[in-house]
Amino acid sequence: MCNYLSSSTENLTIHKVEASSSQSVLENHELSCTVVSVPSVKSHLHISPQILPFALNSKVPEIYHGEPLIDRKSIFQAHCARVSTRGEVSLFISTLLTDRKVATATHNILAWRISSKEADCDDDGETHAGGRLLHLLTLSGIENVAVMVSRWYGGIQLGPDRFKHINNVARLLLTEHKFLSNTSDISNNNVTGHQKKHKHDKKKKK
């Protein structure tokens, strides 16, 4: 069974890589000062954020860890941090991946939003999950936040429930640390319910 990250905010040591391997990764990703987004979660397993142009002088943000949720042997755990630059987003990812359990998770779904014009996500192999997580941040209107949900696959397919769990553990952690208010109405179920009601009203008008 996984040894999960504690819910404390203690920062982890950043993993450093050899200059030669870092250089090759940089060349492969064609990174430069004009890069709009940050490298993928998988890329951070082989690259040190300190060598990225946009991460220079950035500091590791304080990271919060949520309680794990278990469903049919699959385990979901959220992590989040306040970020104000892409460099801090990159350090957030890299710091989390120094934990072996997180680094070997089946998926590490990521979404970050600094502003309405500066945001991105990464499915990390869980198709559409990153986009749904970013949608959660966008609907809430919160900025300067990065959130990652680690999933350890338990061998049983969960279908659409996996998306519900990913967003729910993220929402709970964001609410706990005051990124979201308790009254925020941003669940997928509420959106779907609103859409159904709207369609029903249209039928009545006809």
**Each residue's pLDDT tens digit, 116-135:** 999 999 999 999 999 999 99
pTM: predicted TM-score of the whole model, two decimal places? 0.73
Residue 127 gets the label, from left (phi > 0), alpha (psi -120 to 50) or beta, of: beta
d(CA 92, CA 47): 13
Pairwise CA distance, residues 45 & 116, whole Å: 28
Residue 119's beta-bridge partner residues? 113
144-179: per-residue pLDDT in tens? 999 999 999 999 999 999 999 999 999 999 999 999
Nearest to 153 by CA among 163, 162, 144, 143: 162
| Burial class for 83, CB neighbours closer than 10 Å (0-12, 13-18, 19+) | buried
C-alpha span between 201 and 108 (Å, rounded): 40
At 39, list the tokens. 């490298």
Average pLDDT over residues 54-77: 94
